[in-house]
Amino acid sequence: MADVVVEARGLSKRFGALTAVDRLDFTVRRGEIFGLVGPDGAGKTTTMRMLASVMLPDDGQIEIDGIDVLRHPERTKQHVSYMPQRFGLYEDLTVDENIRFYADLFEVPPQVWRSRADAMLTASDMTTFRARLAGQLSGGMKQKLGLICALVHTPGVLLLDEPTTGVDPVSRREFWEILYGLRGEGVAMVISTAYLDEAERCDRLALLHRGAMVHCDTPAGLKARMPGAMIEIMAADPRPLWEIVRTLPGVKEVLLVGTGVHAHVDDADRRLPEIEQAIGAAGVAASRIARVSPSIEDLFVALLELNGKRD
Amino acid sequence: MRLRRIKAIAVKEGLQIVRDPRSLMIALLLPLMQMFMFGYGVSLDVQRIPLCVLDNEASQQSRDLIGRFAASRYFSLVRALGGQRDIAPRLDDGTCRIVLVIPSDFSRSLNDTGAGRLQALLDGTDSNTANIAANYAKAVVSAFSISLQLETVQRKGGVPQSLTPVDVEARVWFNEELESRNFIVPGIVALVMAIVGAQLTSLTIAREWERGTMELLISTPVQPMELMIGKLLPYFCVGLADAAICLALAVFWFDVPFRGTVATLFFTTSLFLLVVLSIGYIVSVSIRSQVGASQIALLLTMLPTTLLSGFAFPIDQMPALVQGVTFLVSARYYILILKAVFLKGSGLTALALPILCLALYALVLVVLAARAFRKTLD
Ligand SMILES: Nc1ncnc2c1ncn2[C@@H]1O[C@H](COP(=O)(O)OP(=O)(O)OP(=O)(O)O)[C@@H](O)[C@H]1O
Ligand SMILES: [Mg+2]
């Protein structure tokens, strides 16, 4: 398919005995936002690094724009922009100096990068910060600057590793506006995220667990795969709740979350009163019991369960 | 290779240097401090060594010779001894560090064969001072024999057939004041340049790893060669400033005579800088922490420069194998060049061989430095 920009086949990476990325297969097309989701240590960053060819896979292949990345790691770097999870710009350089540095490294003609930078700085309300050192920007502005630097040349592929972690919701929305704009321009994007709402904005999602791909589908497709529903029970001390609820019929999985527990049940309408009753009978305090839409973690756990991969 | 990328890296690195006043101060003050520290600490100048003489001849010539020792500021004549048995007690009780024994046939053999024999007995407990004292004594004697020969030549109107031993002659010739400092200070300049040069670059790559900027940098099309050139350029400028400081101190503070040209000096210093900057860069590439890189760079430059360059220990007195190793120490060539430029005023042609060695060295290290960097995280 001419549309496929990124193609990974059997992609694997091991660190000693640990398999960080385990035989991944996926493709990303022009104008597609492809999400990598998974808990800490799932292998998202490692996958990104191999796509950015800053790390060599142990097995498998990557093609970007039809170029074999393993054989020509430098050739694809012209077309790929990578925004690492850890802020990668120079904190002792100003906003302008950082932008210029990356424009120079990618040999973008001056008038091109200047107008691009102007437009993007204006769009992200950062024109007044041009002379400020990057280290003195807020977390959200740092991430936006990272994106601007990544976009100062015109990449065909954009790799974003948790770009909105620590960014306030408003800035996150602006961030996504930019990504949608790029999608319209046909840029292929791979983005890893820890936020459910962001995962839902992706065109397709890959769920990673211990380096392996558990599911890969559109957000709606993934949700459809999750059977049953999620019930949230809030309490100051969730531990006894967890003990009680996990033994009840129809409860597949109970997860401790910060303020309570999430119970994955086969049928919310039927199990909700049962749970209420059981908690009341046990005399355990609970402040709220309600059906909630599954969080990314719930979805993830449920889908893992379904796959029988959880141990 | 793209000029634009090299320039971008050099500008970025330069901005980072300028924006970090503390490290810039260190880069400029460190050589200053080290020059003073080593200049006074290592200075092997020994003056007014207490001297006793046992003049078994008491002739005009023996008295002339003793007069030369007494006049030299390296010795102070403490007393004349009466006989052989006085020697050991005087050395033992510390009255003197050196005893000069003039045999009873001194002037006769000097006039007959043109070669006189002298005996110098030294207190060897401080072998360093003893060594220096022996060298000074040789120098005084050879100065004496030169003037003796000149006299003979003037009298006979001929040319002297033999001169005093080359080694001693060279010292007297190029270092009339017999100041060991004149020999030491150029070595110190080389030592300081080696330490500071490697320190400058040892941090440059390690810093990118530590601050997390490397991952993004290696995801760009920048080539290792561009990165190296771009990164070395600003430090090269700082290094030249350091060299100017060291050399100015050598001339204006330590009063080392400067007979060469500034152009030769800076050309050869540039070559040496390339070597040490590359060493620092290679260390920085191999060791991803700043502290570790800085320490390894210090070891790699200071040890060979102090031990194997001929700076502190004469190369010709080393075991043959170690002598062979000294050819791999770049400071060896630089010190040789510095001494020659300073004391002899040698130019590029006279120094062609050591300069060639240094240039070759620089070339190899720059190539190694360019290849040492791998654009990968693993
Ligand atoms: N350079 C490395 N050396 C050894 N182990 C590594 C290395 N990089 C990653 N790992 C391990 O590989 C696994 C996958 O790590 P990775 O950073 O890819 O996960 P991630 O999904 O990005 O996690 P996070 O959400 O915390 O960013 C983890 O167990 C991690 O400890
Ligand atoms: Mg990660």
- The sheet with strand B49-55 has its strands ordered as B75-80, B49-55, B98-102, B119-122
Ordered per-residue pLDDT tens for chain B, 378 residues? 899 999 999 999 999 999 988 888 888 888 888 888 877 765 555 677 889 999 998 888 888 888 888 888 788 888 888 888 888 888 888 888 888 888 888 888 777 776 777 888 877 666 566 777 777 888 788 778 777 777 776 676 655 455 443 223 323 333 344 456 777 788 889 989 999 999 889 989 989 999 999 999 999 999 999 999 999 999 999 999 999 999 999 999 888 889 999 999 999 999 999 999 999 999 999 888 888 888 888 888 888 888 888 777 777 777 888 888 888 888 999 999 998 999 888 889 889 999 999 999 999 999 999 989 988 888
Nearest to B42 by CA among B220, B167, B163, B187: B187
Q: Does domain A227-293 have CATH number 3.40.50.150?
A: no
**Ligand 1 pocket, residue A43 CB under 6 Å:** yes
For chain A, which residues make up each domain, given as ranges?
4-222, 227-293
Domain ranges within chain B, ordered by starting residue:
3-43+179-372, 49-163
Residue nearest to ligand 1 atom 16, measured at CA: A43
Query: ∠B223-B227-B231 over CA atoms, to 5°?
Result: 175
What CATH number was assigned to the domain covering residues B49-163? 3.40.1710.10
E strand spans, A139-259: 157-161, 188-192, 204-209, 212-217, 229-234, 251-257
As for the ipTM of the complex, it is: 0.82
Contact A84 B212 (CB under 8 A): yes
Which amino acid is residue B27, in one-letter code?
A
Of B266, B275, B195, B277, nearest to B233 by C-alpha is B277
pTM greater than the 0.90 cutoff: no
Give how far the C-alpha of residue A281 lies from the chain's centroid of Cα atoms, to the nearest Å: 41
Check CB contact of A26 with chain B, cutoff 8 Å. no
Of A198, A193, A204, A143, the residue nearest A171 (C-alpha): A143
A86, A90, A107, A113, best to mutate vs chain B, most B CBs in 10 Å:
A90
User: Are residues A91 and A141 in contact, defined by beta-carbon separation less than 8 angstroms?
Assistant: no
**CATH, domain range A4-222:** 3.40.50.300
B157 Cβ under 8 Å from any chain A Cβ: no
Length of chain A measured in residues: 311
Using DSSP's 3-state secondary structure scheme, residue A66 falls into coil
> Which of A19, A44, A83 to probe ligand 1 with, by most ligand atoms within 8 A of CB?
A44
Residue B137's identity, in one-letter code, is A
